[in-house]
Structure 1
Amino acid sequence: MTSLVVSVPTPELAADIGPVPDGVEVVVWPMTDPAPRERIDMVVTPYMSARDVVAALDGVRTRLVQSQSIGYEDIAGLLPRGTVLANAATVHETSTAELAVGLALAVQRHLDRFAHDREWSRVFADSLADRRVTILGFGGVGKAIAARLLPFEVDLRAVASRERVEDGVPVAAIDDLHRVLAETDILFVALPGSDSTRGIIGDTELSALPDGALVINVGRGPLIDTEALVEHVSRGRIRAGLDVTDPEPLPADHPLWSLPGVLISPHVGGATSAMRPRIARLVRRQIEHLVRGEEPENVVLTT
């Protein structure tokens, strides 16, 4: 007898989840058509397109809506009343940290320039080694970035809500942000998007950075004031590696595309082969929590 119904958006995710406990039924529902059941205990939304389909949850009785993204600000206001939403913490940190470090390496070592110029022109570049590196935000993504940076022999610290030492990394309080920025060669921005973090890096913060500093943003585009960033990059003060932008998608005629010292990827931080096994493991754990009557992981919102 079925006691728990779980929907997933693709047959691939259903297969990746593997065997489930007795009494659990897994159905494939991409959320682009009517729900296959009036009651679906856990709904896993599609990756990258949840905003377009969450209206399909209207009239469906759920216990948990499981997102495949870490951020949820884009769908929070679209969910039916009474929805319990869990995000995908533990799923994307690995891939996002890889891209963050990759963007920093590419800009520091001028790999983007070499790829486009097609000239055998040698450049003496700045290494990651010995750079003063700051990670703004020390949650899952920030910690994953830190773990990958340490072998590069950087001078590493983070900035978060309160001062502490965590995982061997000194963490300054957010009140000390400007002081820390003045001593930062490479800034990794890894905060979530919210009203409180919007524009946290604006003209004042960019001005606090030394000339030639590199800003890597793998958090959310609105964390950085785009106009201020364009102005600083245009003057040659700041370089940037951006996986997220504001606006997003970035229009083809936006100046950031063509400014020297800027490398942009189209919000693909989590979109790698590492995602599939990690989202499958999270969904399996959530199923087990529900079967055992436990609270699910990663609950970020109840509407």
Structure 2
Amino acid sequence: MGKPKALILPPQSRMDEVCSAECVSLLKEHFEPIWNEKGKDYTQEELAELLRTSQAEALLTSWGSPVMTEELLELAPKLRMIGHAAGTVKGRIPPTAFAKEIRIFSAAPRIAQSVAEYCLTVLLSSLRYMPTFDKQVKEGNWRIDSLKGRELAGQTIGIVSASSTARAFLKLLAPFNVNVLVYDPYLKDEAAAQLHVKKASLEEVMLCPIISIHAPKLPATYKMITKEMISSIPDKAILINSSRADVVDEEALIEELQKGRFFAALDVFTKEPLPADSPLTKLDNVLLSSHVAGATVEGHLALMQSVVEDMVRSMKQEKTMTEVTQAMWENMA
């Protein structure tokens, strides 16, 4: 029996970013790759023609690849696997793929690792007031005696949503022996025990001295962190948002941050790019970044390999790690 044909949608420029040399070898070993040699992303029409003629059993996509539609799936009767070398597959692959027994794989868990490192980076920097000290030294002020950094060890941290990113963050926090409260209506008691966290209400989490938001963008999560909850954030607290801005009442957050009561590290905003005249750009108690929490050289280069390895596991009927199931679909970002 021959190797399954795999249609690789990203052009070489994108492959250089998301596919390592090891990944290329893996593809050649287990598949019959059909590379994109056009030097650009395929159009919807070009993809339709490829699906008609290639008889592909596997499909690999990434940023820039055409969105799969129900009509396109109808053109690929042999298709059994789709691997997305990027984040969420919602809006990119129709859920009807499950009815066609097409298995879906997403590199989102690998991106979660990169985002988790971002969270730890900004948390430690914020606890030690690094942005403030950097600014002061550059302005000729050697030391602020009234400002003394804090340690992470033993702190209490509130986590909003036990997502894959939150779980990756928890692993990085483990050596610091922190106490963790998690709000997630879908987190079962057994899973909470395995994660060594305590389940809590959203209101309780927002009272923690450190809060990290990891909730997906869903109708149910829209502005679920209300003005009242934001006003309850303790003085000198640290708030991190690396998930989605729509989870928070951003206007209320800006209003509260302008009081200077607590510090925030924000990587996501309701309008991106963040307007130059945003009040957030004027605040010293806010650390801003441009939706780059998941963007690292190593992380991006591992994206396609993470899904290809899992596709190979599925072919061997082994347990998968990046597979998206129908049961997961409803609560995914």
Give the 3-state SS of the residue equivalent to 2:82 in structure 1.
strand
Q: Deviations over 1:98-151 (max 9, x none)?
A: 100111122222222233341322431233234321111113211111121232
Q: For the structure 1 residues 143 and 2, does the alpha-carbon distance in structure 2 shift closer, same or farther, using more than 3 Å as the test?
A: closer
CA contact (8 A) 2:26 2:308 kept: no
Match of 2:31 in 1: 24
CA contact (8 A) 1:92 1:270 kept: yes
Aligned residues: 293
Evaluate the alpha carbon distance shift between residue 293 and residue 136 of structure 1 in structure 2; reply closer, same or farther with a 3 A threshold: closer
Matches within 5 A, 1:5-44: 5-9=6-10, 10=12, 11-12=15-16, 13=19, 15-17=21-23, 18-20=25-27, 24-29=31-36, 31-33=41-43, 34-35=46-47, 36-38=50-52, 39-44=55-60
Structure 1 residue 186: deviation in Å? Answer: 0.6
Code of the residue aligned with 1:156 in structure 2: it is: V
1:290, CA displacement in angstroms? 4.7
- Once the two structures are overlaid, the 10-residue window that deviates more, 103-112 or 120-129, is 120-129
Percent of residue pairs identical: 23
Distance 1:79 1:277, change over 3 A: closer
TM-superposed CA distance for 1:197, in Å, is 1.5
Distance 1:138 1:236 in 2: 29
| TM-score (structure 1 length as normaliser) | 0.82
Q: Is the 8 A contact 1:240 1:262 kept in 2?
A: yes
Q: Give 1:250-265 correspondences, 5 Å limit.
A: 250-265=274-289
State the 1:86 CA deviation: 3.6
Residues in 2 aligned to 1:243 and 1:65: alpha-carbon distance in whole angstroms: 29
Give the aligned partner of residue 166 of structure 1.
193
- Shift of residue 280, structure 1, vs aligned partner: 0.3
CA separation of 1:109/1:204 partners in 2, compared to 1, >3 Å: closer, same or farther?
same
Which runs of no fewer than 5 residues in structure 2 stay unpaired?
99-103
Counterpart position of 1:93:
112
Runs of 5+ consecutive residues of structure 1 not aligned to the other structure? none
Residue identity opposite 1:276 in structure 2: L
Determine helix, strand or coil for the equivalent of 1:289: helix
Distance 1:142 1:90, change over 3 A: same
Q: Is the 8 A contact 2:217 2:246 kept in 1?
A: yes
**Residue identity in the other structure for 2:4:** S
TM-score (norm 2): 0.75
Q: Which has the higher helix share?
A: 2
1:104 equivalent in structure 2 = 123
Q: 1:280 to 1:163 in 2, by over 3 A?
A: closer
1:297 aligned residue: 323
Q: Does 1:180 align with 2:187?
A: no
Shift of 1:217: 0.9
Distance in 1 of aligned mates of 2:302 and 2:30: 23
Q: Which is greater in Rg?
A: 2
SS of residue matched to 1:263: strand
Q: Name the counterpart of 2:86.
A: 69
Give the Cα–Cα distance (whole angstroms) in 2 for the partners of residues 40 and 127 of structure 1: 54
Is the CA contact 1:241–1:263 (under 8 Å) kept in the aligned structure 2?
Answer: yes
Asked if the contact 2:27/2:308 (under 8 Å) is kept, the reply is no
State the alpha-carbon separation in 1 of the partners of residues 229 and 174 from structure 2. 25
1:170-226 deviation line (CA, Å, top 9, x unaligned): 2314xx2213322x0010111222111121212122122212221101112211111
**Deviations 1:26-84, CA, capped at 9 Å, x for gaps:** 2333633423443443332223x45xx427996452444332334345xx1x6568445
After TM superposition, list the pairs within 5 Å mapping 1:230-245 onto structure 2: 230-245=254-269
**Residue in structure 1 matched with residue 162 of structure 2 by the alignment:** 138
**Contact between 1:5 and 1:41, CA under 8 Å: does it hold in 2?**
yes
Contact 2:107 2:303 in 1 (8 A): no
Match of 1:3 in 2: 4
Question: In the aligned structure 2, how far is the partner of 1:20 from the partner of 1:286?
Answer: 10
**CA 1:86–1:301 in 2, change beyond 3 Å: closer, same or farther?**
farther
Contact 1:88/1:298 (CA < 8 Å) preserved in 2?
no
Supply the RMSD in Å over aligned alpha carbons: 3.1
Whether the 8 Å contact between 1:101 and 1:145 is mirrored in structure 2 is: yes
Contact 1:32 1:56 in 2 (8 A): no
